[in-house]
Amino acid sequence: MANEEAARRERLTSIESLGIDAYPAGSNRTHTVAEVLTDFDNRLTDLTVLTISGRIIAMRHIGALSFLRILDGSGNMQAVLRKEDLGDQYTFLVDHLDVGDIIEVPGAAYLTKTGEKSVLAESVTIVAKALQPLPEKWNGLQDVEIRYRHRELDLISNPEVLARLTMRSKFIAAMRRFLDDSGYLEVETPILQLIPGGASARPFITHHNALDADFYLRIAPELYLKRLVVGGMEKVYEIGRCFRNEGIDYSHNPEFTMLELYCAYGKKEEFITFNEEILRRSLEGATGSTVATIEGVAVDFGTSFPRITFRDSILNACGIDIDTLKTGADVEAAARAKKLPVDFNGCLGFGEYLDALYKKTGRAAISTPTWVFDYPVELKPLARQNPEDATKSACAQLVILGAEIVNLYYYELNNPIDQRSRFEAQEALREQGSEEAQFMDEGFLSALEHGMPPTSGVGIGIDRLIAFLTGAPNLKEVIAFPTLKPRNEHGGATDES
């Protein structure tokens, strides 16, 4: 490897010694590869000179002929170099080109004897010299560590990765268009927060030197968005990064992308239908279809999803009726009687015990998209009570393949007295050692005390949703640069890239 890198550097030095600029500032590209291939037959007949630009991903020389496979962001195609056309430049190119170099090739559309759609080069310009070789196996970069730490190589080597990240961008763009067209305003709320709120999670903490104060990275934008609703912005949303100082696995990354949305004067069924429409329109805008294949099953996001209660999901999965349980000890005893491998270590309060049981049984048993309703109030300190059952919260979550994708409150809690009592209960859990219980937030309570209209709200985990829709086995496949454990590669500084 070191010898090859040295040889590439020598070739660059040779190029520069001839007064050739291997890093020109601009580009002469006139067409992408996809544009050439789409209209190839017409270009064959009119012989118009076009210029493609891209990276050499394969190269072979056969006497006075060279065949280069050129990759750009739209696809790849062949460029054919003939000594009879290029003269002395042909020998120069054979001696100085490497796989990985980025070149510009002006020429006409050309069909080889084997029927390969190509560009017949009139000349070749090296616009960026690759000093390091691409991964050896062009059929796909396989080393997972290299793939995630050097995503640029992953994108070059594995087309499906580029397709996933492209789909993600199109999905978010379609989501924004739909929400904007529906009268929602996109806003930005603080990422550095004195009090992390809006979810039950362990936060990251940092220090601001000028203010000499500790801040937290936000775990959710919820409380600030609700304050905007109090101020009269009746339809608001934010798509942005959130941070939770928790474990890393196939469905969790410490930083992730969320959509949070709030609508004043929302109605339960209308709001649930609206959120199904968000998913449908976003998927359709990204892929042209409302159908996605999830683990081999075609799922139509154009239809309403089935519903089940939190209680029934657990009852159906393991036979435990949580409505007969009153304490965390009751939950643990019931799980033990059923010989369920549920880890209750660290659970504090009835809600955390129920949550641990649900994640291992009811939620894990759900495969196709399903709305889960009637979560216990202990699990949802920011949602109103269900008007029909005060022990349940007015919320629903869309679960796919055992993971929560959409967290929907069709009735947000807007009673400041009730909210304060719930914060106090959360504070009590914190005093007992809970790292995920929520903080008392006097600023938010003050806003509620000025009056928040009846409001519906939702949070959608973009990363998880895209992972399911693209068939990715874990979140790292749909996050361009996932969080990784630092490593010391050469005995020097830690590599955190």
- pTM for the whole structure: 0.88
- DSSP state string for 249-316: BTTB-SEEEEEEEEEET--HHHHHHHHHHHHHHHHHHHHS-SEEEETTEEEETTSPPPEEEHHHHHHH
Burial of 187 (0-12, 13-18, 19+ CB in 10 A): middle
103-132 pLDDT, tens per residue?
999 999 999 999 999 999 999 999 999 999
Helix (H, G, I), strand (E, B), or coil: what is residue 71?
strand
pLDDT in tens, 423-443: 999 889 888 988 888 889 999
What pLDDT sits at residue 492?
40
Phi, psi dihedrals of residue 414, rounded to the nearest 5°:
-125, 10
274 contacts 471 by C-beta, under 8 angstroms: no
CA distances from 80 to 102, 118, 483 (A): 15, 7, 42
Q: Which amino acid appears at position 314 of this protein?
A: I
Is residue 252 within 8 A of residue 475, CB to CB? The reply is yes
Amino acid 330: pLDDT: 96
φ/ψ region of 151 (left if φ > 0, alpha if ψ in -120 to 50, else beta) reads: alpha
Give the H or E element holding residue 192. Answer: strand 192-193
3-state helix, strand, coil in the chain (%, to 5): 35, 25, 40
Q: What is the DSSP letter of 207?
A: E
pLDDT at 494: 46
Cβ 385 vs Cβ 377: under 8 Å: yes
Tell me which residue of 302, 320, 299, 303 sits closest to 311, measured CA to CA.
Answer: 320
How many Cβ atoms from other residues are within 10 Å of residue 480's Cβ? 15
Given this model, what pLDDT does residue 495 score? 46
Each residue's pLDDT tens digit in the chain (497 positions)? 778 999 999 999 999 999 999 999 999 999 999 999 999 999 999 888 999 999 999 999 999 999 999 999 999 999 999 999 999 999 999 999 999 999 999 999 999 999 999 999 999 999 999 999 988 754 445 678 788 999 999 999 889 999 999 999 999 999 999 999 999 999 999 999 999 988 888 999 999 999 999 999 999 999 999 999 999 999 999 999 999 998 888 889 999 999 999 999 999 999 999 999 999 999 999 999 999 988 888 889 999 999 999 999 999 999 999 999 999 999 999 999 999 999 999 898 899 999 999 999 999 999 889 999 999 988 888 789 888 898 899 999 999 888 888 999 999 999 999 999 989 998 898 889 888 888 899 999 999 999 999 999 999 999 999 999 999 988 999 999 999 988 765 544 444 44
pLDDT tens figures, 224-245? 999 999 999 999 999 999 999 9
